[in-house]
Amino acid sequence: MDISRFLQSWYLDNRRLLPWRETSDAYCIWLSEIILQQTRVAQGYDYYMRFVATYPTVQQLAAAPLDDVLKLWQGLGYYSRARLLHRAAQMVASGSGTFPSRYEELMKLPGVGPYTAAAIASFASGQAVAVVDGNVYRVLARLFDIDLPIDSTAGRKHFQQLADELLDPDHAGLHNQAMMELGALVCTPTSPRCTECPVADACAALAHHTIGLRPRKVGRVKVRQRRLHYYIFKYGDDIWVHQRAANDIWLDLWEYYLHEEGDDTPIPPEALGVEPAFTYGHRLTHQQLLCSFYIVPLTQPITTLPSDYVRMSWRKWQEKAVAKPIFEANRRFSALFSTK
């Protein structure tokens, strides 16, 4: 069976119509790829449209303040992607000014790895480089009934070689899109629709009844548990906040005063004895966070916080980029503040 030909034919009849597939502009394709890393299409679609509308050129993205980019990104998570996106735009704008569309040049950009470079290069310029993302790993592992773990060095090398061998060099972009779309729509992690698969007759895992065992991974990374206590010091419609600068989660995002259990950050005396207003659980890739929020009314401005905390109006605070737990706290507590 000519697997690539069957996949391409299926893709042309069944693909989702998405704006980044209707362009060969490497900049727009790059935006979509960075946004869709670890993000579902349904969630990423609106973000892509807002980014293209706000920053239609790489020069405009490069010139934007990082705070503005992070605010536009807010809600997507994995904020390092937004910081690297901004840094890559600045690198392009300060260089040739033209967004690259060749694999070798794309690999020089921060935040662009082999998969992203291959996707942009094949979609934008037709360069014959094979993509291997989560969907492609799954399709290949089942199609050839491969027991090698996809998160091992040997596994990654083997799957890339196999993807390279299957690639149709004359229609690289179409082939890559077809492989990815098959994994997204048919060869799904759970409840795959094998009766609708255009290459089911060639699927070794289907023949061997091992679909549910493919792909295989070595194992899970231990999840770190963290207990975070946020104190909202309220004086009229003003609060005290700061921008995270430590080498930790949510770098460059803004937050309330934080005391984390297990560290030596003190609880200000004004907050002692205050009960939490609500607690919010939030899961990151390798961390489980339990965030408690405390409202601390003040009769005079607070002076006991570190110098990096700034006094800010609630209205101005809404313009800052924040992580999801802080966003949820803002939503819940907005009624306590004037919006005039």
Catalytic positions: 33
Tokens of 146: 């491969």
Backbone φ and ψ of 16, nearest 5°: -80, 140
194/201 Cα distance (integer angstroms): 10
Measured CA to CA in angstroms, residue 90 lies from 93, 183, 339 at distances of 5, 34, 36
∠ at Cα 335 (334, 337), nearest 5°? 70
Tokens of 139: 């399709």
Q: Are 278 and 293 in contact (CB under 8 A)?
A: yes
Q: For the chain, what is the HEC assignment? A: CCHHHHHHHHHHHHCCCCHHHCCCCHHHHHHHHHHHCCCCHHHHHHHHHHHHHHCCCHHHHHHCCHHHHHHHHCCCCCCHHHHHHHHHHHHHHHCCCCCCCCHHHHCCCCCCCHHHHHHHHHHHHCCCCCCCCHHHHHHHHHHCCCCCCCCCHHHHHHHHHHHHHHCCHHHHHHHHHHHHHHHHHCCCCCCCCHHHCCCHHHCHHHHHCCHHHCCCCCCCCCCEEEEEEEEEEEECCEEEEEECCCCCCCCCCEEEEEEECCCCCCCCHHHCCCCCCEEEEEECCCEEEEEEEEEEECCCCCCCCCCCCEEEEHHHHCCCCECHHHHHHHHHHHHHCCCC
